[in-house]
């Protein structure tokens, strides 16, 4: 796979490996083994591909949770969901409405190694936001 290589940051739903996310949620962890040739200090998969995948999945979950929380907190009509973005400003307005203190601490940030240039991180973050909002 070239996902994660510079300029190859696609988010194909056919390769999202949701079964891995579900298994990790069920068992509290996932172990990823990379088959990169020996001699490479840090495999591409662990540098960008897996962190990007985790970020997309976590942002999608966070947006879904916020959407559900907003709908239950405001008791809005069905058509509001069609006209609002669950990750937009309306979500922030209800952040304090949760009875679960951990619910608002869902980490959906992109975490890449420190040697990835800030310009590349910024490009990836924009694509992640687009992938989640699509």
pLDDT in tens, 13-54: 566 778 888 888 888 888 888 887 777 788 878 888 888 888
Q: Is residue 93's pLDDT more than 50?
A: no
**What is the model's pLDDT at position 68?**
86
Indicate the number of domains in the chain.
Answer: 1
Q: Which domain holds residue 84?
A: 13-133
- Give the 3-state secondary structure of residue 18: helix
Q: Does residue 47 belong to any structural domain of this protein?
A: yes
Q: What would the pLDDT profile of 113-129 be if each residue is shown by its tens digit?
A: 999 999 999 999 988 88
For residues 76 and 34, the model is more confident at 34
| Mean pLDDT, residues 45-73 taken together | 84
Q: Does residue 5 belong to any structural domain of this protein?
A: no
Q: Does residue 6 belong to any structural domain of this protein?
A: no
| Mean pLDDT, residues 49-60 taken together | 86
Q: Does residue 1 belong to any structural domain of this protein?
A: no
Residue 61: both structure tokens together = 């979950």
Q: Does residue 59 belong to any structural domain of this protein?
A: yes
**What is the model's pLDDT at position 118?**
95
Residue 1 neighbours by CB under 8 Å, 6+ apart: 15, 45, 49
Residue with tokens 């990790």: 24
**Residue 49 main-chain phi, psi, to 5 deg:** -55, -55
For residues 21 and 95, the model is more confident at 21
Q: Does residue 95 belong to any structural domain of this protein?
A: yes
Q: Is residue 110's pLDDT more than 90?
A: yes
Which percentage of the chain shows pLDDT scores above 70?
64
């Amino acid at each position: 796979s070239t996902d994660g290589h510079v300029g190859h940051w696609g988010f194909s739903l056919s390769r999202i490996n949701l079964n891995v996310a579900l298994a990790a949620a069920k068992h509290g962890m996932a172990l990823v083994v990379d088959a990169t040739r020996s001699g490479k200090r840090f495999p591409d998969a662990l540098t960008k591909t897996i962190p990007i995948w985790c970020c997309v999945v976590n942002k999608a979950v966070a947006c879904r949770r916020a959407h559900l929380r907003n709908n239950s907190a405001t008791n809005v009509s069905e058509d509001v969901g069609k006209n609002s973005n669950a990750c937009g400003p309306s979500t922030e307005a209800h952040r304090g409405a949760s009875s679960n203190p951990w619910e608002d601490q869902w980490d959906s940030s992109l975490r890449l190694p420190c040697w990835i240039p800030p310009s590349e991180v910024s490009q990836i973050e924009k694509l992640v936001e687009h992938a989640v909002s699509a």
